[in-house]
Every structure is written in C-alpha cells, then in structure tokens.
Amino acid sequence: MNAKRIAAFALPLLLMLAGDVLAAQNVKSLYQRNCASCHGRYGEKPALNKARALTTLNEGQITEALTERRAGKIQGAGSQPKKRLTDEDIQQLAAYIQTLKTR
Ligand code: HEC
C-alpha cells in the first residue's frame, strides 16, 4: 500500500473515532447539566422521591420513559426537562446511563 492509499483508508476511520469521542463527551455533559441535579451524578437518586434510580432501568425502559414524558403522556415534576430532548439525545442518554452502573 502506498501512502495515499493508507491515508484514504485511515483518515475516514480517524474521523469516525473522533466523532464517537465527541458524541461521548456531549452526552455526558448533556446528562450532567440536565439530569444529574434530580437523578444524581451516577443515576443513583430517586429524583424528588418519585422516580426509580435510573441505574435500575435498562436501555429500552429509559428510551420509553423519556419518549412518553416528552410526548406529555406522563405529566409530572420531571417531565419538563425531557421536552427538549431529540430522538438522538434520548437514544444516547439511554445508552450512557447504562455505563453509569459499573461505577
Ligand atoms: C427537575 C428534576 C428532574 C430533572 C432535571 C430530570 N428528571 Fe427525570 N424524573 C424526575 C421525576 C420527579 C421523575 C418521576 C416522575 C415521573 O414519572 O415523571 C422522573 C422520571 C424519570 C424517568 C423514569 C423513571 C421511572 O421511575 O420510571 C427517567 C428514565 C428519567 N426521569 C430520566 C431523566 C433524564 C435522562 C433527564 C435529563 C434529560 C432527567 N430525567 C431530568 C425529575 C427530573
């Protein structure tokens, strides 16, 4: 392989990896800024004593919970912070919260 070919192969790969790292940092700060105050830094708190600890929920349960609250199907003190989330935010948060369980 010549240098050009190596670059053509390696560059997109590097950009993809950099993209993943950025996404990982974004979802972390999204969670810490918008969720941690009620649910705890590690998803361990029962927000206002009304929610289960997020660490007891699996990815599907979190996606469903966020989608329902965003849609207004569940009204409560915790619904407002969910209103601004995009589909991508929800998917990333559900996956991110799983990584908090191992801490
Ligand atoms: C103002 C405090 C507050 C903030 C901020 C907040 N929540 Fe909540 N959350 C609650 C409360 C209170 C409930 C339980 C009431 C309800 O059912 O909506 C809840 C419920 C939930 C549930 C369902 C839990 C269960 O028992 O089934 C999930 C999942 C959740 N929140 C995730 C999040 C995520 C992710 C964020 C950040 C985008 C967030 N919350 C931000 C207060 C908050």
Domains of the chain by range and CATH?
Answer: 28-100 (1.10.760.10)
* Full pLDDT tens readout for the chain, 103 residues: 688 888 898 999 888 888 888 888 899 999 999 999 999 999 999 999 999 999 999 999 999 999 999 999 999 899 999 999 999 999 999 999 999 987 6
CB-count exposure of residue 63 (10 Å: 0-12, 13-18, 19+): middle
Residues with CB under 6 A from ligand 1: 34-35, 37-39, 47-48, 50-52, 54, 57, 62, 65-66, 69, 74, 76-79, 81-82, 85, 93
Alpha-carbon span 8 to 27, nearest angstrom? 30
Instruction: Say what the pTM is.
Output: 0.87
